[in-house]
Amino acid sequence: MYKTHNCGELRSAHIGQTVTLAGWVHRRRDHGGLIFIDLRDRYGVTQVVANPEINATVHDALAEARSEWVLQVQGVVGNRPEGMHNPNLPTGDIELAAQEVVVLNPAKNPPFAINKEDELIDENLRLKYRYLDLRRERMKRNLVLRHQVVKFMRDYLDQAGFVEVETPILFKTTPEGARDYLVPSRVYPGEFYALPQSPQQLKQLLMVAGVERYFQIARCFRDEDLRGDRQPEFTQLDLEMSYIHRDDILAMVEGLYTAMVKAIVPHKRLLSSPWPKFSHTEVMDRYGIDKPDLRFGMELYNVGAIFAQSEFKVFRGALDSGGVVKCIAAPGCAEYSRKEQDELVEFAKTQGVKGLATLGLGAEGLKGSAAKFINESEVAQLRQTTGAKPGDLLLFVADARAAANKALGALRLLFRDRLKLADKNMLAFAWVVDFPMFEWNEEFQKWDAAHHPFTMPRMEHLGRFETDPASILSDAYDMVCNGYELASGSIRIHRRDIQHKVFQLLGLTEEEIERKFGHLLEAFEYGAPPHGGMAPGVDRTVMLFADEPNIREVIPFPKNQAARDVMADAPSKPDARQLKELHLKVD
């Protein structure tokens, strides 16, 4: 070992001991005579002091040292002089009087400061030098937090009788869903493996195999465009249980997360426990989105009834064509300028609606674009329905229901951030249940599975496959928290006939069903138990726990938004020989 102790553990009790530390030069303070070096390793920082009158060689060596040099220092742990203790440092009562210094490795000046936390360094630069970025306190903290989260999950599920099983990374491409990452086979020209979008089929087969309680910290791959909470590869806590109903698995995951919050982020509070449960319809109506942030109010209100007799053309048109008029009330924003209101309108348009009407309940009367079209009686009813107060700004969208929900839901989040309506130490977990089983795909004129095709439709709705697929509900469920979808899951189909029926409705031919899912359907014929599961996102969980704005901050080596690894510069061109072996030609 290069060291006898780490840089975070020495205390007064060690005074007088001869120890050896090794680490990076965090900071150097050269007084000409005395030199102080803050030596840093993973565990902390210890002050090393060199006195030229005591040891000139050591003093000269430390005078040369610069930031991020790697040093090994042997010395005696000493009590700091009276009044020189540093209460801000766990090791602040002692210092190491250096007797011997070995430069293990000098270092170039880093492209950004490792010993500073406040500056927001350009992320591309951080990613290019990720190994330096990870030395910084913030990243180190996130790395360790992630470890704690994963370890807690493993321990908790082990206690609950789950078995961790690894499933293949090289698997089979599946239709629908996200775009697959394909891996060419050298042995079979023209054939490809696919990286799993999730271990969905495999874990179901593990249920058929009798594992009963399975979990895996599973890497998943989806070749879609990136977002702050989406990476091409990400990690899920993949879970599956046999002989359970929906509420059994919800209770299992709720228990896990509730215990985990208490153990790992005790400074965070749960909005409610047990967690509330909403139907999909209800969250869409009230929050305009299927992953509501419940930490604040500002709900959406359907005010169509108030304007049933309105002559306001915008509202009239929407209502007459089967749409809705909905609104939210932005607290204290009645005096927004014309420009500020125009910005809101523009934002709404980016969310897919034709426009946005505004009504400010100003101190000197009504303001905003809808003011002259709304009468006193309507204002009174609006105030009653929405609870809006004088000084609030009402924002109306008159459009098709889905579009209106989406735009107002997005505006609600805009105001959350702008008005700081959400407490960052609050975790508002909730369940969303009763999803529709199918969604009509306008582009391809076909039915899609709203969750995935292995989801169990409600038994009592099985008769509607031929008559009204849109009305079929499924046993799917989402776990949401603070505006993120943290997990998604369902009770699965375990009967061949039902699974076949679903594939048929999704438009797969008999030949496709057999070729793509034959293995699964056959498995269901050998005594598949009823089962279901879910898959919480590990990256998003850690992101929420760490108060980070995106999952890149909790992934050691993430891709940028263009899906590149800017450190290694991947993806990259393979050698011609590699392509030839794989029987590939590139355009």
Partner RNA sequence: GGACCCGUGGUGUAGCGGCCAAACAUGCGGCCCUGUCAAGGCCGAGAUCGCGAGUCCGAAUCUCGUCGGGUCCGCCA
Within residues 203-222, the interface with RNA by CB under 7 A covers 222
Taking residue 19's Cβ as centre, other Cβ atoms within 10 Å add up to 17
Residue from the set 2, 4, 18, 29 that interacts with RNA by CB under 7 A: 29
Q: Does 128 bind RNA (CB under 7 A)?
A: no
Query: CA-CA distance, 28 to 39, in Å (whole number)?
Result: 9
Q: How far is the CB of 118 from RNA (least distance, A)?
A: 8
Q: Does 14 bind RNA (CB under 7 A)?
A: no
Q: Does 284 bind RNA (CB under 7 A)?
A: no
Q: Pairing between strand 429-433 and 277-279?
A: parallel
Could you tell me if 172 and 196 are in contact, meaning their C-beta atoms sit under 8 angstroms apart?
A: no
Q: How far is the CB of 46 from RNA (least distance, A)?
A: 10
Q: How far is the CB of 254 from RNA (least distance, A)?
A: 22
Residue from the set 117, 119, 376, 587 that interacts with RNA by CB under 7 A: 119
Residue from the set 6, 20, 67, 381 that interacts with RNA by CB under 7 A: 67
Query: CA-CA distance, 96 to 79, in Å (whole number)?
Result: 9
- Nearer to RNA among residue 213 and residue 222 (C-beta): 222
Could you tell me if 351 and 326 are in contact, meaning their C-beta atoms sit under 8 angstroms apart?
A: no
| DSSP letters spanning 448-474 | EESS-TTBPBPGGGGGGTTT-GGG-BB
Window of 1-9, 202-210, 323-331, 444-452 that interacts with RNA by CB under 7 A: 444-452
Residue from the set 103, 143, 178, 419 that interacts with RNA by CB under 7 A: 178
Query: CA-CA distance, 524 to 542, in Å (whole number)?
Result: 36
Within residues 406-425, the interface with RNA by CB under 7 A covers 406, 410
Residue from the set 76, 113, 217, 400 that interacts with RNA by CB under 7 A: 113
Q: Does 38 bind RNA (CB under 7 A)?
A: yes
Within residues 476-495, the interface with RNA by CB under 7 A covers none
Q: Does 452 bind RNA (CB under 7 A)?
A: yes
Q: Does 84 bind RNA (CB under 7 A)?
A: yes
Residue from the set 88, 105, 337, 467 that interacts with RNA by CB under 7 A: 88
Q: Pairing between strand 44-50 and 94-105?
A: parallel
Taking residue 210's Cβ as centre, other Cβ atoms within 10 Å add up to 9
- Nearer to RNA among residue 233 and residue 299 (C-beta): 233
Could you tell me if 242 and 203 are in contact, meaning their C-beta atoms sit under 8 angstroms apart?
A: no
In angstroms and rounded to an integer, the radius of gyration of the C-alpha atoms of the chain is 30
Window of 83-91, 245-253, 421-429, 521-529 that interacts with RNA by CB under 7 A: 83-91
Residue from the set 76, 89, 264, 379 that interacts with RNA by CB under 7 A: 89
SS3 assignment, position 99: strand
Q: How far is the CB of 232 from RNA (least distance, A)?
A: 10
Q: How far is the CB of 197 from RNA (least distance, A)?
A: 5
Q: How far is the CB of 371 from RNA (least distance, A)?
A: 27
Query: CA-CA distance, 296 to 289, in Å (whole number)?
Result: 14
Residue from the set 200, 216, 341, 541 that interacts with RNA by CB under 7 A: 200
Within residues 219-278, the interface with RNA by CB under 7 A covers 222, 224-228, 230
Q: Does 124 bind RNA (CB under 7 A)?
A: yes
**Tokens encoding 45:** 């920082």
Query: CA-CA distance, 153 to 237, in Å (whole number)?
Result: 8
- Nearer to RNA among residue 236 and residue 386 (C-beta): 236
Total of chain residues touching RNA, rule CB under 7 A: 70
Residues in the chain: 587
Helix axes 246-264, 137-159, angle to 10 degrees: 140
> Which among 236, 228, 252, 231 is positioned nearest to 149, based on CA atoms?
236
Q: Does 187 bind RNA (CB under 7 A)?
A: no
Residue from the set 86, 173, 302, 381 that interacts with RNA by CB under 7 A: 86
Q: Determine if residue 335 is left, alpha or beta; phi over 0 gives left, psi from -120 to 50 gives alpha, anything else beta.
A: alpha
Residue from the set 5, 14, 295, 451 that interacts with RNA by CB under 7 A: 451
Q: Does 401 bind RNA (CB under 7 A)?
A: no
- Nearer to RNA among residue 177 and residue 530 (C-beta): 177
Bridge partners (DSSP) of residue 492 are 455
CA distances from 250 to 212, 304, 454, 476, 481 (A): 16, 36, 18, 11, 14
- Nearer to RNA among residue 108 and residue 267 (C-beta): 108
Q: Does 117 bind RNA (CB under 7 A)?
A: no
Output the 3-class SS for 339-393.
HHHHHHHHHHHHCCCCCCEEEEEECCEEECCCHHHCCHHHHHHHHHHHCCCCCCE
Q: How far is the CB of 547 from RNA (least distance, A)?
A: 15
Residue from the set 32, 266, 365, 527 that interacts with RNA by CB under 7 A: 32
> Which among 329, 290, 309, 460 is positioned nearest to 377, based on CA atoms?
309
Residue from the set 30, 342, 512, 514 that interacts with RNA by CB under 7 A: 30
Within residues 326-385, the interface with RNA by CB under 7 A covers 350-352
Residue listed under structure tokens 């869903």? 177
Window of 89-97, 206-214, 240-248, 327-335 that interacts with RNA by CB under 7 A: 89-97
Q: Does 174 bind RNA (CB under 7 A)?
A: yes
**Tokens encoding 475:** 């046993």
Cα within 13 Å of Cα(317), Cβ side: 8
Q: Does 107 bind RNA (CB under 7 A)?
A: no
**Burial degree of 497 (CB within 10 A; 0-12, 13-18, 19+):** exposed
- Nearer to RNA among residue 350 and residue 467 (C-beta): 350
Q: Does 31 bind RNA (CB under 7 A)?
A: yes
Name the site residues for RNA (rule: CB under 7 A): 27, 29-34, 36, 38, 47, 49, 51-53, 66-67, 80-81, 84-86, 88-89, 92, 95, 109, 111-113, 116, 119-125, 174, 176-179, 197-198, 200, 222, 224-228, 230, 350-352, 406, 410, 443, 448-453, 550, 560-562, 564, 566
